Amino acid sequence: MSTPQGVCGSVWALGAVGALTLAGGLAAARGSRGFALPSAAKGEHAERDAHFVGEVLAALRAIHWNAWDSHWQAKGANSYGDHLLFERIYTQTVPHIDGLAEKMVGSWGDASVDAIAPSTQKLLAEWAKTSDRVKRATEAEHELHRRIFAARKVLEQDNALTMGLDDFLMGVANDHETFIYLLQQRAKGGSASRRTSRRRTGNDNPAYQWYVLAVPTGHVRPRIESGWESKEDAKGRLAEARTETLWTKLALLARRSVVSAGLDPRDDAHWLTAADVATRVA
Ligand SMILES: [Fe+2]
């Protein structure tokens, strides 16, 4: 039961001492958390294991689809911030989809990735019932975490959770926890906007302490590209923006410096709009 497939023969072929050493090594390789060797993926529960990992892949593909849709359709006071947030979600989900699908094909064959389409469609239909796109994306992220949790549990029970797959799933969970945090911050900002609409306008959030400024290609004056509570997040966005060809200049400034540069974050006219970007891209 606990011996990964394909290993028994080698164990019996060795002498007693060698067998004990190998068995000890395998136990250590599985570790206290029950890791399996890669060959174990094709064990007796392969179909069930492929199904549970496929449910994770289906959620990732649905998240990607949903976030890209939301990126195009962002509107309202926070439209530009939402446009960027959803872009971050769908672009950063691509390597998750690709990496997991490759692992699945390697472990359970081509058919294992074909099988996920109905589950992806079912999720999208279910999430479409939530019209608020930030809430919808948050629900989607929670569903992904439930599926990762279930897949790890089942694979661990089946002795099919390899260290590589576990590490990969943990990395995906970690990245998507960041998305949950960002979506929650966005949701809080949204309600604060309604409560304090006299003091707060449009794109700005009183909690923002850091801003990325950009000069769109063909323009002269800088505009506020995005606002952030933490300097780390702002630096992350700045690094990402540097790879985009839309900007001639970019800068990271604290709130005070933005104001001394003659820009008012509370004034939507000082922010880039999704339309500005779309025009430049076209
Ligand atoms: Fe876009």
Residue type (1 letter), 276: D
Q: What is the distance in A from the centroid of ligand 1 to the CA of 87?
A: 7
- Ligand 1: centre distance to CA 74 (Å): 11
User: What is the per-residue pLDDT across 185-240, written as a single tens digit (0 to 9) for each?
Assistant: 998 875 333 333 334 456 777 778 888 888 877 777 888 888 877 787 788 778 87
- Across 35-44, 79-88, 156-165, 206-215, least confident range: 35-44
What average pLDDT does the segment 255-266 reach?
86
Q: Do residues 20 and 45 share a domain?
A: no
pLDDT band for 269, please (50, 70, 90 cuts): confident
Distance of CA 277 from the midpoint of ligand 1 (Å): 9
pLDDT in the model for residue 48: 95
Q: Is the pLDDT of residue 98 over 60?
A: yes
Distance 278 CA to ligand 1 centre (A): 8
Cα(21) to ligand 1 centroid in Å equals: 56
Shared domain for 114 and 182, answered yes or no, is yes
Ligand 1: centre distance to CA 96 (Å): 20
User: What pLDDT is stored for residue 247 in this prediction?
Assistant: 77
Q: What is the distance in A from the centroid of ligand 1 to the CA of 239?
A: 17
Ligand 1 geometric centre to CA of 159 (Å)? 42
Q: Are residues 55 and 115 in the same domain?
A: yes
Indicate if 60 and 109 belong to the same structural domain: yes
pLDDT score recorded for residue 11: 33
Domain of residue 119, residue span: 40-195
15: pLDDT strictly greater than 90: no
Ligand 1 centre to CA of 72 (Å) is 7
Residue that has been written with the tokens 């995005």 in this structure = 226
CA of 165 to the centre of ligand 1 (A): 31
3-class state of residue 45 by DSSP: coil
In this structure, the answer to whether residues 1 and 80 fall within a common structural domain is: no
Residues 58 and 183 in one domain: yes
User: In DSSP terms, which residues pair with 212 in a beta bridge?
Assistant: 226, 252
Shared domain for 87 and 183, answered yes or no, is yes
pLDDT of residue 178: 95
Dihedral of CA atoms 140, 141, 145, 150 in degrees, nearest 10, equals: 10
Is 162 in a helix, a strand, or coil?
Answer: strand
Q: Are 94 and 13 in the same domain?
A: no
pLDDT at 157 over 70: yes
Report the 10 Å Cβ neighbour count for 242: 9
Number of H helices, E strands in the chain: 11, 3
Distance 232 CA to ligand 1 centre (A): 24
- Please indicate, yes or no, whether the overall pTM of this predicted structure exceeds 0.95: no
Q: What is the mean pLDDT of residues 175-191?
A: 87
Q: How many domains does the chain have?
A: 3
Residue 202 lies in a domain: no
Query: What's residue 62's pLDDT?
Result: 98
Specify the pLDDT at position 190.
Answer: 55
Place of tokens 């990732």: 60
> According to the model, what pLDDT value does residue 76 have?
82
* CA 187 – CA 196 distance, rounded (Å): 14
Residue 13 lies in a domain: yes
Q: Does residue 59 sit in the same domain as residue 25? A: no
Same domain as 48, residue 10? no
Work out the number of other CB atoms within 10 angstroms of the CB of residue 281.
10
**171 CA distance to ligand 1 middle (Å):** 25
Is 200 part of a structural domain of the chain?
no
> Where are any strands of DSSP class E within the chain?
210-216, 223-228, 247-254
Residue 226, CB-side half-sphere exposure with 13 Å CA sphere: 25
Say whether both 25 and 51 belong to one domain: no
Is residue 103 located within the same domain as residue 26? no
Q: What's the number of CA atoms in the CB half-sphere (13 Å) around residue 258?
A: 28
